[in-house]
């Protein structure tokens, strides 16, 4: 299957690589299918590309790369839609934004990804997390598919 992306051009993807977000993302509630793209072999940033909207690609990071002790408390009702089993791989991703010349990560509403089942949700955590954690990144460069 081929999708169009304003950032990456035409991308060949397998249907099995798509992530399903049953509730979409905040601000993109109607976008339910996404693909995760990496920038290079040692990149700190990946891209969440909408399958339906070519102009929507969001940079994401693992919060533990910047805060190894990062722990987030999520409501059980949010976790239910991920259909988690004990052997599933669960990852937290945070959307990166630009505030002036500073890149920041939203730790308050991370994306929880059940990589085993290709399901993801964006949850608002119940504990005190920053909405805009400053990062030490200066630029974000797109390149290739991650999953």
| Domain boundary assignment for the chain | 2-138
Asked whether 92 and 106 are in contact (CB, 8 A), the reply is no
Pick the CATH number of 2-138 from 2.30.290.10, 2.40.50.70, 2.60.40.1180, 1.10.10.10: 2.30.290.10
Q: What is the DSSP letter of 76?
A: H
Report the C-alpha gap between 143 and 56 in whole angstroms. 15
pTM of the model: 0.85
Beta bridge partners of 48: 36, 58
Would you tell me how many other CB atoms lie within 10 Å of the CB of residue 35? 23
**Exposed (0-12), middle (13-18) or buried (19+): which is 53, by Cβ within 10 Å?**
middle
The per-residue pLDDT for range 13-68, each reduced to its tens digit, is 988 999 999 999 999 999 999 999 986 665 788 999 999 999 999 999 999 888 88
């Amino acid at each position: 299957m081929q999708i169009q992306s304003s950032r990456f051009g035409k991308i060949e993807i397998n249907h099995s690589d798509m992530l399903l977000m049953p509730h979409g993302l905040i601000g993109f509630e109607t976008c339910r299918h996404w693909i995760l793209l990496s920038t290079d072999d040692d990149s700190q940033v990946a891209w969440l590309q909408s399958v339906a909207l070519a102009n929507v690609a969001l940079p994401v990071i693992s919060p533990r790369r910047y805060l190894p002790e990062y722990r987030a408390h999520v409501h059980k009702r949010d976790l239910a839609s991920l259909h988690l089993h004990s052997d599933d791989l669960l990852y937290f991703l945070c959307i990166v934004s630009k505030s002036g010349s500073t890149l920041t990560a939203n730790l308050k509403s991370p994306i929880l990804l059940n990589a085993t089942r290709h399901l993801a949700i964006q949850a608002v955590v119940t504990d005190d997390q920053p909405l805009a954690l400053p990062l030490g990144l200066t630029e974000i460069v797109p390149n290739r598919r991650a999953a």
